[in-house]
Structure 1
């Protein structure tokens, strides 16, 4: 069954018919977000695309509003942030929503990434869809780093200094790139001007790539927990109302968590040092980035050589883009891969542990454990994914998506499994899900 949906939208008024014949915008929206068929077995991990879209909108709206009152200069940046907090109507709400929105944005994108890795959403024919997602993630990281420097507190200033200093380790062009970002020979007024300009630009670039990401999704269709394609109309349901209601519910639930941070713990995910004005003469006792960068910060510090650490840190992000070609398994979903499932959850634990280590001082046992975790991080992609797929015997896949919802008694066109008891087989199956009651969509 095709991933595309033919829109059944028929304009009613003469004006609507005139407009639709010249620019079928309403029909496009109807076919993409109403009649678009989605697998009927999607779980709540498939709602994070909608959650991320909502937070991208929140970040852009609050960011534009904050930019109206922010002064991107080394002398006034810190004071302008305090002005927003104290003197601008609801400025405190805008700033806390923007700062905590970034954390929620990354939390949702990490769930989105791990879901893609678990269910094999990077496999053919979704390689381009997945690569666009990796590009969005890279743009998010750049945007978040630039935004983190703008309050011009102690942690912002020294975070910018540390991260931009590592660029000097790049052979030949490193010093030139560093000077270009700084606008001089050290972090200062030209730097914050550049960072503010780029921080304002990149979210719009993210929005543009998101459009491509959604477009690619509608071309190849959504993956599903079983990792098998839609084979008939019984395997799919219209996006609206089925997926729409689920997306709205999950987004509201996520917004409640977001609201709790804004109103009860607005600085929980921040750093107290950022409430101290930037001082180039006083170095904070322990410089750490935001929590969503900590795993990569741990990898950077795990390598004693400066250039080696930079290569490993950027390589840890870049290697995600090669997952479609490193995984040799013919089965998408890890649900049906018993051996790889163990390695996957070790990988998740390893990533969380790297995040914890990134917040610790680079000394003693922390460095040793960071090195072990870094080795496993790369080994998962370069050894586990290629080798396990060659030797693993996966579990049998279901015959259809409908079968994963209703069971083989009603989900398979071949009838019940031979030898399986059929009495009371429909006990827990609602009437609408039985084959004679399922309507084509």
Structure 2
């Protein structure tokens, strides 16, 4: 999306639905993470749910309502199981349908960022358009097959993936009286966890972590560039995007490490760079020197 501008007009709604699906998948992953009832599952849930308690006014009551008890217990496990297996998948299915409806309305983006509906033949069919079947269906089937092959390799041969997928501490049954030395989320949450820890205030950290996700929803209105695709962007945008990617990956690594003064300071620097990418986007996308965009898709 960031590379080819898939969030730009007229695909704002497609992007919003995609982001809601992303958040729903995060909720699905978090609730599923508690189900093994290991040490990291238990204490990870305890840490994340306790963050809701930082909300002024009704935070403690909200955290207790989410847990269903004063601490993470069987009540929490049962409701998370129900949400993970039934509620969230149904919500995801509905969101996927809405996402596809929105996509069908405006059409897919392309690497050139050109609206192909502007050039049509005498039958009203876009000159650079291709039928969904067999082109997209075959492409998606190939993608699914490759994914299932990799998935099978992980499941049957390397399920632990060196501790990245299945952590050693999570093979220990949950014990509310024994806190692990280092509590960390799974790798796909670590960039946001690093942002959370970078802010000294608990409530400030919660706000920063939430803002790191919410700001992604605003991309269609923050980007003021004249072109969509990175093929025709200038060096300014490419350089800033590179810094953003490095910042995100570094935050992901920092989120897996124990908090030390040095690493906390580093997390604060990269958190600032993460947010600067979005806050300054209206400025540098306007100043960026772009290349002329062709009228037709180049098929490179």
Contact 1:147 1:199 in 2 (8 A): yes
Name the structure, 1 or 2, with higher relative contact order (CA <8 Å, separation 6+).
Answer: 2
**Counterpart of 2:279?**
382
**Counterpart of 1:405?**
299
**Counterpart of 1:83?**
none
Q: Given the alignment of the two structures, is residue 391 of structure 1 paired with residue 287 of structure 2, yes or no?
A: yes
Return the alpha-carbon distance in structure 1 between the equivalents of residues 278 and 110 of structure 2.
22
**Counterpart of 2:213?**
317
Aligned with residue 263 of structure 1, among 156, 162, 166: 156
Q: Aligned with 2:130: secondary structure?
A: strand
Q: Aligned with 1:158: secondary structure?
A: helix
TM-score norm. by structure 2 comes to 0.93
Contact 1:300 1:312 in 2 (8 A): yes
**Counterpart of 1:281?**
177
Bigger Rg, structure 1 or 2? 1
Return the alpha-carbon distance in structure 2 between the equivalents of residues 194 and 245 of structure 1.
39
Contact 1:167 1:175 in 2 (8 A): yes
Q: Aligned with 1:117: secondary structure?
A: coil
- How much does 1:310 deviate? 0.3
**Counterpart of 2:106?**
220
TM-score norm. by structure 1 comes to 0.64
Deviations 1:325-354 (A, max 9, x none): 111112111221122112112211211111
- How much does 1:361 deviate? 0.5
What runs of 5+ residues in structure 2 fail to find an aligned partner? 121-125
Q: Aligned with 1:277: secondary structure?
A: coil
**Counterpart of 1:372?**
269
Q: Given the alignment of the two structures, is residue 308 of structure 1 paired with residue 204 of structure 2, yes or no?
A: yes
Q: For 1:346-357, list aligned pairs within 5 A.
A: 346-357=243-254
Runs of 4+ deviating beyond 4 Å: none
Return the alpha-carbon distance in structure 1 between the equivalents of residues 292 and 272 of structure 2.
33
Return the alpha-carbon distance in structure 2 between the equivalents of residues 276 and 392 of structure 1.
53
Deviations 1:366-400 (A, max 9, x none): 111111110011100011x1111221120111120
- How much does 1:244 deviate? 2.1
What runs of 5+ residues in structure 1 fail to find an aligned partner? 1-115, 407-441
Aligned length: 288
Q: Given the alignment of the two structures, is residue 235 of structure 1 paired with residue 128 of structure 2, yes or no?
A: yes
Aligned with residue 165 of structure 1, among 50, 72, 97: 50
Return the alpha-carbon distance in structure 2 between the equivalents of residues 195 and 254 of structure 1.
27
Q: Give the aligned CA root-mean-square deviation in angstroms.
A: 1.2
Aligned with residue 244 of structure 1, among 120, 133, 137: 137
- How much does 1:357 deviate? 0.5
- How much does 1:253 deviate? 1.9
- How much does 1:128 deviate? 0.8
**Counterpart of 1:65?**
none
Q: Aligned with 1:259: secondary structure?
A: helix
Contact 2:226 2:286 in 1 (8 A): no
**Counterpart of 2:237?**
340
- How much does 1:132 deviate? 0.6
**Counterpart of 2:94?**
208
Contact 2:226 2:290 in 1 (8 A): no
